Amino acid sequence: MNHQELVHRQFVESVEEWLLGELDAQRDREMEIHFNSCPECARVAEQTAELLSLARSTQGITPSHARMESLYDNMMGHLEEENVFTRPQIPPRDKSAPRTLEPVRFLAVAAIFLFLLLGAGAVSSHLQRTNDFQIPYLQTSQASLLIPKEVELPLLERQRQFEEALSNRGPESSPIP
């Protein structure tokens, strides 16, 4: 199959959609231009149009009303026998509606919450009574170990100067150097 044949084939493949107006405007225009210039494809399009028009005009066999009713009665007989229409159906929960707690569930949740609250209170008071829960405060000597060296040396220096000033001061002079 050469290029020309392939082009014709592509147009013929879209004939049905073109005839039923289901192509976009650009493709529709392309098809029109091609059919105007190609009598072979135009003939295929014309014949397909006739074929589809006749197929669509054919009326199927319309069953009589009595036949349709008889079919319905037959179906209902089966369904009644199976209790399809009398079987209780559970309506599903409306997913769009917000969730609500039923009274029993609400009471159960509230009781659990209250129990936990009271339990926590009891434990806390017990710990306070037995002094097991005191924070061990640091002693001054331990605290001094935590002061970094860079801070500690000027402090010691200042303390030494202060003590020196105290020893040299008169009763009216300020203790601060």
Nearer to another protein, 74 or 161 (CB): 74
Report the distance separating Cα 27 and Cα 34, nearest Å: 10
Does residue number 30 form part of the binding site for another protein (CB under 8 A)? no
Q: Read off φ and ψ for residue 42, nearest 5 degrees.
A: -65, -35
Stretch that binds another protein, among 45-53, 95-103, 118-126, 141-149 (CB under 8 A): 45-53
Report the distance separating Cα 73 and Cα 77, nearest Å: 6
Selection from 39, 47, 50 nearest residue 8 by Cα: 39
How many other C-beta atoms lie within 10 A of the C-beta of residue 104?
A: 8
Binding string to another protein for residues 71 to 110, with x set by CB under 8 A, is what? xx-xxx-xx--x-xxxxxxxxx------------------
Binding string to another protein for residues 112 to 151, with x set by CB under 8 A, is what? ----------------------------------------
Does residue number 6 form part of the binding site for another protein (CB under 8 A)? no
41 contacts: CB under 8 Å, gap ≥ 6: 8, 11, 12, 15, 34, 35
Q: Which residues would be at the binding site for another protein (CB under 8 A)?
A: 13, 16-17, 22, 40, 43-44, 47-48, 50-52, 54-58, 60-63, 68, 71-72, 74-76, 78-79, 82, 84-92
